Copies of this chain bind each other. A is one copy, B any other.
Amino acid sequence: MLLTPKWTSMVIYVLSFGPLRTGQLQRSMPGISKKMLTQTLRELEADQLLSRKVHQVVPPAVEYSLTELGQKFVEPLLALYDWAEANFVLLDKVERNRAASGQAEIVEDESEALPLS
């Protein structure tokens, strides 16, 4: 899948603001390792969501930018982020929710037969 890897959606999001060089990308995503950054970028490139431009200079300068397809992905991605933000899910609300109750509802049935199909 496209969203299961840890960093893919974040790369798309960060690049949605404009093209970035490798180092800038890494600094935009605290915690990502160089290995995972490269790997994620290669996969997204293979999926044609971003393009990679190599400037033949020393030291090397590589610029990443979203393709048309990648830009089309930004909107549904933001829809997801908006939902998360609106419901504090990526923040700490869920943690607090987890802490609180959360028991399964027990339904006392009269019959011993299966009530559902």
Contact = CB atoms under 8 A, between A and B. Distances in A.
Interface of A: 1-6, 9, 21, 24, 45-48, 51-59, 61, 63, 69, 72-73, 75-77, 79-80, 82-84, 86-87, 89-90, 94, 97-98, 102, 104-109, 111-117
B87 A53 contact: no
24 contacts: A1-B6, A3-B4, A4-B4, A4-B6, A45-B102, A45-B104, A46-B94, A46-B97, A47-B97, A52-B105, A54-B104, A54-B107, A56-B106, A56-B108, A61-B114, A61-B115, A61-B116, A72-B83, A73-B83, A75-B83, A76-B79, A76-B80, A77-B80, A79-B80
Copies per complex of this chain = 2
Contact of A72 (B24, B46, B87, B97): B87
Contact of A47 (B55, B89, B116): B89
A57 B111 contact: yes
A109 B57 contact: yes
A84 B4 CA distance: 14
A41 B5 CA distance: 21
